[in-house]
Amino acid sequence: MNAPASEFALIDRHFRRPVQHADVRVGIGDDAAVIAPTPGAELAVSVDMLVEGRHFMAGADPKALGHKALAVNLSDLAAMGARPRFALLAGALPEPDEAWLDAFMQGFRALAQRHDVELIGGDTTSGPRNLCVTVIGELPAGAAITRAGARAGDDIYVSGTLGAAALAVAAARGNVALADADRDRLRARLDRPEPRVGLGLGLRGVASAALDVSDGLTGDLAHILEASGCGATLEWARLPADPAIAARLDGPDRALALRCLLAGGDDYELCFTAPAHSRASIAALSHALDVACTRVGVIDAGDALAVVDRDGAPLQPLPRAFDHFA
Ligand code: ADP
Ligand code: MG
């Protein structure tokens, strides 16, 4: 399995497959892919890079990595309300390790198949391990949910639960000890995030603004506030905390739990805003998809983010979101 292989043999074995969709006019194997978008559709395009030592540790499970490399990109499309269609994969590998590639592509393809995403191209090179995925999604014209549409009075929602991935990272670094019952679940949230694609589609025409929570809720919500030119009040006690986080909010690990909840990255939930008259539609959507959508605060006409407890007292100091260059 590990005999040296040429770049082109690797491409043929691991990436090239018969074209699946009629709108892929030219797939893998030419100088560029040619796609025919659905007439009238707009394209949402996003790229995300995973770097060894930065986004994942050397020795990380390649199958989980293949899943995550695509999942973080599908999460971006979900946040725009776009339907994922195509992906490109650029990879640098230290050596042509076919067993590694095979497992990586198993994880990648399993998620791609679930969302009917076709791999249409990429690049393969040697170098420090680095995986870069580009995704292309489709939207009806004008239907994209951007970060700029929040208005004073809108409710703020978060999907699923928050804090699990950051708590798994804290445990991996030895900063907290996890119960056996929590370990696998938290680790799965970190390694195999589930992009909220169905929710994103359902939020078209309902949400006024949205983004995916990749760097931590307060920092990510601040992006919506800046783009929309408004402020917000977030009631932290309403946040849908992972049970392992909730259990730590009143104990010795409270500071860590709050940091995971408010500023922990890698959860890939959606944070979105919507006018109060959409509450019933959002509840129905949440029920139909079996994805919790929790109301956690409200947009205001100010320009700051206040994080308060149940009595309205501000939380100080506010945990900070992740920033690669901070
Ligand atoms: P070029 O040199 O013209 O850029 P390449 O030799 O890099 O073309 O790639 C040949 C074909 O294989 C192209 O269609 C390219 O999109 C595809 N390809 C290369 N690497 C990957 C990859 N990691 N995943 C998917 N397709 C790939
Ligand atoms: Mg090339």
Does 30 score more than 80 pLDDT? yes
- What confidence score (pLDDT) does residue 2 get? 44
- What confidence score (pLDDT) does residue 7 get? 85
Does 323 score more than 70 pLDDT? no
Does residue 122's CB lie within 6 angstroms of at least one atom of ligand 1?
A: yes
Does 127 score more than 90 pLDDT? yes
Q: What string of DSSP letters covers 284-305? A: HHHHHHT--EEEEEEEESSS-E
- Among 72, 50, 47, 64, CA closest to 268: 72
Residue nearest atom 24 of ligand 1, based on CA coordinates = 122
- Among 107, 292, 146, CA closest to 229: 146
Q: How many residues would you count in the chain?
A: 326
Tens of pLDDT, residues 258-295: 999 999 989 999 999 999 999 999 999 999 999 999 99
- What confidence score (pLDDT) does residue 8 get? 87
Does 1 score more than 60 pLDDT? no
Cα 160 to Cα 3, 237, 247, 279, 322, distances in angstroms = 44, 15, 17, 17, 20
Compute the mean pLDDT over every residue in the chain, rounded to the nearest whole number: 94
Q: Which ligand is nearest to the CA of 31?
A: 1
Q: Report the residue among 28, 102, 135 best suited for mutation to probe ligand 1: largest number of ligand atoms under 8 A from its CB.
A: 28
* Mean per-residue pLDDT, 216-224: 96
Listed range (17-21, 203-207, 322-326) with the worst mean pLDDT: 322-326
Tens of pLDDT, residues 57-108: 899 999 999 999 999 999 999 999 999 999 999 999 999 899 999 999 999 9
97 alpha carbon to ligand 2 midpoint, in Å? Answer: 19
- What confidence score (pLDDT) does residue 265 get? 85
Does 45 score more than 50 pLDDT? yes
- What confidence score (pLDDT) does residue 216 get? 94
- What confidence score (pLDDT) does residue 287 get? 98
Tens of pLDDT, residues 228-259: 999 999 999 999 999 999 999 999 999 999 99
33 alpha carbon to ligand 2 midpoint, in Å? Answer: 12
Bridge partners, 52 (sequence order)? 56
Give me the residues near ligand 2 (ion), CB cutoff below 5 Å.
123
Provide the pLDDT confidence category of residue 36 given band limits of 50, 70 and 90: very high
Does residue 219's CB lie within 6 angstroms of at least one atom of ligand 1?
A: no
Query: pTM, whole model, 2 decimals?
Result: 0.94
Cβ pair 165, 244 in contact under 8 A: no
- What confidence score (pLDDT) does residue 324 get? 59
The ligand 1 atom at the shortest distance from the C-alpha of residue 28 is 14
Residue nearest atom 3 of ligand 1, based on CA coordinates = 31
- What confidence score (pLDDT) does residue 311 get? 86
What value does the CA radius of gyration of the chain take, rounded to a whole number of Å? 21
Structural domains for the chain: 7-140 (3.30.1330.10), 155-308 (3.90.650.10)
* Mean per-residue pLDDT, 201-215: 97
Provide the pLDDT confidence category of residue 198 given band limits of 50, 70 and 90: very high
Does 144 score more than 90 pLDDT? yes
**Which residues fall within 8 angstroms of residue 79, CB to CB, at 6 or more apart?**
145, 200, 210, 211, 212, 270
Backbone dihedral angles phi then psi of residue 209, each to the nearest 5 degrees:
-155, 155
Residue with tokens 């205001």: 300
Q: Which ligand is nearest to the CA of 30?
A: 1
**b/e per residue 148-177 (b: at least 16 CB within 10 A):** ebbbeebbbbbbbbbbbbbbbbbbeeeebe
The percent of residues in the chain predicted with pLDDT above 90, rounded, is 89
Does 3 score more than 70 pLDDT? no
Does residue 26's CB lie within 6 angstroms of at least one atom of ligand 1?
A: no
- What confidence score (pLDDT) does residue 326 get? 52
Does 190 score more than 60 pLDDT? yes
- What confidence score (pLDDT) does residue 321 get? 60
Does residue 13's CB lie within 6 angstroms of at least one atom of ligand 1?
A: no
Beta-carbon count within 10 A of 115 CB = 20
